[in-house]
A = this chain, B = another copy of it.
Amino acid sequence: MRKLAAVLFEGFEMLDYFGPLEMFAMFPDEIEIVAVAEHAAPVRASGGPAVMPDRVFADGADYDLLLVPGGRGTRREVDNPVLLDWHVAASARAELVTSVCTGSALLARAGLLDGRAATTNKLAFDWVASQSDKVDWRASARWVADGRFLTASGVSAGIDMSLDALARLLGPEAAEKAAHWAEYVANRDPENDPFARMDKM
């Protein structure tokens, strides 16, 4: 049984978080989902309801998988040493570290993407890239896998990235099954980025 820490902070983006979680949750015997935040209090999504954390950063950083969403809140959290330090500790032990949208800004600021290729969403690209010049930022990519680090492009791209993560963890049939069950038309090619073309990136 792998334990997945799904990170919460005020102003996180709903689909960044719950899209991948929907896919991971289809394998409850293999993956346990734990919502983790800095404080033991409800955390409000950007424009949506508040979510209860199951655990806090102070409870430890011993997780097998990480999911870091983006959202407006990342603009504040890139300057939060408690959150960044926890990501460093958790990433050191994790088998896979995944982010969606501007979540990669947090990983970059924590120094975790140094020397790696990574991506983020199109509309905040310049801001995210400005968080670290030690990252090989890819403007065109549905998601980027570099070693243990999987960073997705904007919002919905996180679902495709999570299916790649599932394929790595449980095999391609598991990813196929999850997409089918959720009636999700998956994009299985990380290089196929229709939005980079649309936004001329």
Contacts and interface: CB of A to CB of B under 8 A. Distances in A.
A15 B19 contact: yes
A103 interface: no
Q: Could you say which of A14, A52, A180 has the most chain B C-beta atoms within 10 Å of its C-beta? A: A14
Contact of A28 (B22, B47, B52): B47
Contacts of A6: 49
A56 interface: no
Given A123-B181, A153-B183, A156-B183, A48 B33 contact: yes
> Chain A interface: which size bin?
35 or more
A18 interface: yes
Interface in A117-156: 121-123, 153-156
A191 interface: no
Nearest to A19: B15
Interface string A15-57: 1011101100110100001010000001001111111111000
A42 B35 CA distance: 14
B18 A25 contact: no
A195 interface: yes
A25 B14 contact: yes
Contacts of A45: 18, 25
B198 A184 contact: no
A28 to B, nearest CB: 6
Interface string A46-83: 11111111100000000000000000000000000000
Interface of A: 6, 8, 13-15, 17-19, 21-22, 25-26, 28, 33, 35, 42, 45-54, 121-123, 153-157, 159, 180-185, 187, 194-195, 198
Give 5 nearest A-B pairs by CB, closest first: A25-B47, A154-B183, A35-B49, A15-B22, A18-B18
